[in-house]
């Protein structure tokens, strides 16, 4: 149920077309809640049918013109209710951890290379998050509650990547023994 709420959040931040939403997901929300172009368009249709969003009137009617959407009061109310709702954490699903468990049973050929590859990927993501933090969240830009909340989301991503870098480094050390 979170994709429609992610879309409502993004549209409340800035009315957008489906294509713009896809691009914004790739640069922000997608770091922690990814969605394909098709999924976003499908959800836009559902949200519009539910009366949560509407397509803004086109400035100049033209065939094939992209629709830009905005959130309606019912959509804001739905998002507010969802934010206030209690939700238990979801169990973690990590294919790499499952593969390591399987490697304990059938052997670990190639596991070292895969751990090294994951380590590089997590190091890159950590660097990207840190660059975003420097660029978008200097201390002076953390004054308002919305900016502090956005920064906390980014800090969560930074901390998760730091965890993976540390854990993968330890795992590679254990494989050395």
Q: What is the mean pLDDT of residues 120-138?
A: 94
User: What pLDDT does residue 64 have?
Assistant: 64
User: What pLDDT does residue 1 have?
Assistant: 56
DSSP class per residue in 74-140? HHHHHHHHHHHS--PPPPP--HHHHHHHHHHHH--TTHHHHHHHHHHHHHHHHHHHHHHHHHH--GG
Average pLDDT score over the chain: 90
Q: What is the mean pLDDT of residues 109-132?
A: 95
What tokens does 82 get? 């969802």
Assessment of whether the complete model's pTM goes beyond 0.75:
yes
The CA distance from 166 to 115, in Å, is 12
Q: What is the mean pLDDT of residues 41-62?
A: 87
Greater confidence, 136 or 158? 158
The CA distance from 113 to 109, in Å, is 9
Residue 128 has pLDDT above 80, yes or no: yes
Of 20-29, 92-101, 123-132, the range with the highest mean pLDDT is: 123-132
Residue 142 has pLDDT above 90, yes or no: no
Q: Are 133 and 154 in contact (CB under 8 A)?
A: yes
């Amino acid at each position: 149920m979170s994709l429609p709420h992610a879309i409502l959040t993004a549209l409340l931040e800035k009315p957008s077309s489906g294509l713009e939403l896809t691009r914004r997901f790739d640069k922000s929300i997608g770091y922690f809640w990814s969605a394909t172009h098709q999924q976003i368009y499908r959800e836009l249709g559902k949200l519009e049918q539910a009366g949560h969003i509407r397509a803004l009137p086109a400035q100049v009617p033209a065939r094939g013109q992209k629709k830009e959407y905005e959130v309606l009061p019912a959509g804001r109310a739905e998002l507010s209710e969802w934010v206030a709702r209690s939700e238990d954490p979801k169990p973690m699903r990590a294919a790499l951890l499952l593969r390591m468990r399987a490697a304990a049973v059938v052997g670990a050929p190639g596991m070292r290379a895969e751990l090294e590859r994951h380590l590089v990927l997590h190091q890159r993501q950590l660097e990207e998050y840190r660059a975003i933090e420097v660029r978008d969240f200097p201390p002076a830009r953390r004054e308002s509650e919305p900016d502090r909340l956005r920064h906390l989301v980014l800090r969560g991503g930074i901390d998760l990547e730091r965890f993976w870098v540390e854990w993968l480094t330890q795992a590679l050390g254990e494989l050395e023994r």
